[in-house]
Chain A
Amino acid sequence: MASAAGSLAIDLDAKRGVRLREGAVVASLFTCALISILTSAGIVIVLFWEAAGFFKSVSLWEFLFGTRWTPLLEPRSYGVLPLVCGTLLVVAGACVIAIPTGLACAIYMSQYASDRTRRIVKPVLEVLAGIPTVVYGYFALTYVTPLLQQVYPDTLVYNAASAGIVVGIMILPMIASFCDDALRAVPESLRLGALALGATRFEVTVQVLIPAALSGIIASFVLAISRCIGETMAVAVAAGGTPNLTLNPAESIQTMTGYIVQVSMGDTPHGTLGYYTIFAVGALLFLMTLGTNLIADRVLHRFRETYE
């Protein structure tokens, strides 16, 4: 018996080959992860380094609170507010279009649409998200603006409204899709419980499901806003290139991203103060999108209703 037990002894020893292979896999995966982190960190460092160079010549105060942005023309002035205002105008326009429509779309898809309708609508929305943004820009310029000019003849060829509208169309699929997911994540038992109390589907949706999914819904809004702030091509094409401290959406404006495109594409010589402005604007843009993303993250975790 003892010898039989010996011959059947189970080999539990670690195999050298297996261990080496596993080690190599872990090392290469770690390297890939490290590269993406280092790249991001590098970009941020360069951004702030170059921006710091800009702030040696221009005070932070003048940059943040100045109301004229003419870094490339005499008399030069470095107040970023017109660009921030232009960006926010586009963001506001996009939100007015996309938030109600996107939420309504999500409610329809998650609560009312039959499975068949949903199978058609959702991919169509995703196609909308896949259209290159420059196409939206020309759509704004050649289709939306003429339409706006018919309604309101004083609309300029380049204007904030058309840019806001197309950016709104652009972020609509994102809001619809995220809100749809958030509404679907609410436990079915909650929905049935409300229906069993004699609530209509609309009452259930508005009064039970939306409050229960609120964290996801708000997070989707904030992420969409972040996307609007960073959106470049559509606004560069449609909104114009005139830094303009205005709240009138019919006027031509310039957004922060639009300005960066203009300088990057243009003939501003490297090393000049005008050239360094794009890093200052870029750093501010980065901080704004980072801020909104952090808010979205906080909202998602802080207000999440927990279900078993």
Chain B
Amino acid sequence: MVTVKVTETTSAAAVTQPSPSASPPILAAQDLTIRYGEKPAVVSVNVAIPENRITAIIGPSGCGKSTLLRAFNRMNDYIPEARIDGGVTYRGRDLYAENVDPVEVRRRIGMVFQKPNPFPKSIAKNISWGPAINGFRGDERLLVEEALKKAVLWDEVKDRLNESANALSGGQQQRLCIARALAMEPDVILMDEPCSALDPVSTARIEDLMYELKHLYTIVIVTHNMQQAARVSDFTAFLDAGRLVEFGETEQVFTTPKDKRTEDYVAGRFG
């Protein structure tokens, strides 16, 4: 019953998508293991993220999906006890090689967090700050406008660009955070449960936005909401206890899962 319902919502998003092999992977994890102290959070994961598609990472709480996501732009560097084995490549380059500057990595691979985290600055400054510190010398007003338009926030805030970002609603703040990431013109945007702190209306807006953006960017989204994964993503990776159980086109993962655990999870029987 549940599976049928999910299928209906999936079909709209996945109708024109080619198979994984059609586009070359932009990010890939090879035999990736991440430990916090002794406790492994991600175990021997191999996954290839296709370019200009939305890839969802789903799985029960504590399965390592956020840890895997953070490995893609080296945000795990800030968790002191995290240890990484195996590799992550971005367009063929090893992100964990000795001479790689994590700052450069994050300029190309942006991130949107679980809770909206606008800076305590004006709306415009929130957008222009990232490009400014990275040497942007163009027209700041244009940059702000473009980013806000891409994030479908422009019409709501165009008259109060100099007001504090903290005055916005939660959903607006999250779209501002997306706009902030977009202003960096990244290659990839990682989203870590971007809607978990938002109401259903704001969630729907963010999902629409992701659908708009996937023509321009590669998006990887971690979500605990299976309906959301089914609605927005082209590909789905299912993680359980740190291991990649299944990876494939979203429609296939949700309708004809190859693994019994995936089937149980998407059917809502655990997790």
Contacts and interface: CB of A to CB of B under 8 A. Distances in A.
B129 A207 contact: yes
A115 B115 CA distance: 26
A192 interface: yes
B75 A192 contact: yes
Contacts of B107: 197-198
B49 interface: no
A208 to B, nearest CB: 6
Contacts of A198: 103-104, 106-107, 130, 133-134, 184
Nearest to A194: B119
Contacts, number: 68
B73 A196 contact: yes
Nearest to B121: A211
B120 A211 contact: yes
Interface in A178-201: 187, 189-190, 192-200
B73 A199 contact: no
Contact of A200 (B103, B117, B129, B181): B103
A106 interface: no
A200 B120 CA distance: 18
Interface in B82-140: 103-104, 106-107, 110-111, 113, 115, 117-121, 129-130, 133-134
B144 interface: no
B181 A197 contact: yes
A184 to B, nearest CB: 14
A305 interface: yes
Interface in B57-78: 73, 75, 78
Nearest to A114: B80
Contacts of B203: none
A189 B113 contact: yes
Interface string A267-293: 000000000000000000000000000
B177 interface: yes
A126 interface: no
A211 B122 CA distance: 12
B121 A115 contact: no
Nearest to B106: A198
Given A198-B184, A199-B130, A193 B117 contact: yes
B78 A192 contact: yes
B166 interface: yes
Interface in A11-65: none
Nearest to B177: A193
Contacts of B75: 192, 195-196
Contacts of B110: 196-197
Nearest to A214: B120
B243 interface: no
A197 B113 contact: no
Contacts of B117: 187, 189-190, 192-193
B104 to A, nearest CB: 7
B224 interface: no
B231 interface: no
Contacts of B175: none
Contacts of B166: 305-306
B17 to A, nearest CB: 28
Interface in A201-219: 203, 207-208, 211-212
Given A189-B113, A190-B119, 20 more contacts: A187-B117, A190-B120, A193-B111, A195-B78, A196-B73, A196-B75, A196-B106, A196-B113, A197-B130, A197-B180, A198-B104, A198-B107, A199-B133, A200-B133, A203-B133, A207-B133, A211-B121, A212-B119, A305-B166, A308-B115
Closest 3 CB pairs of A and B: A198-B107, A197-B130, A196-B111
22 contacts: A115-B80, A189-B113, A189-B117, A190-B117, A192-B75, A193-B117, A195-B78, A196-B110, A196-B113, A197-B107, A197-B129, A197-B130, A197-B180, A197-B181, A197-B184, A198-B104, A198-B107, A199-B133, A203-B133, A211-B121, A212-B120, A305-B120
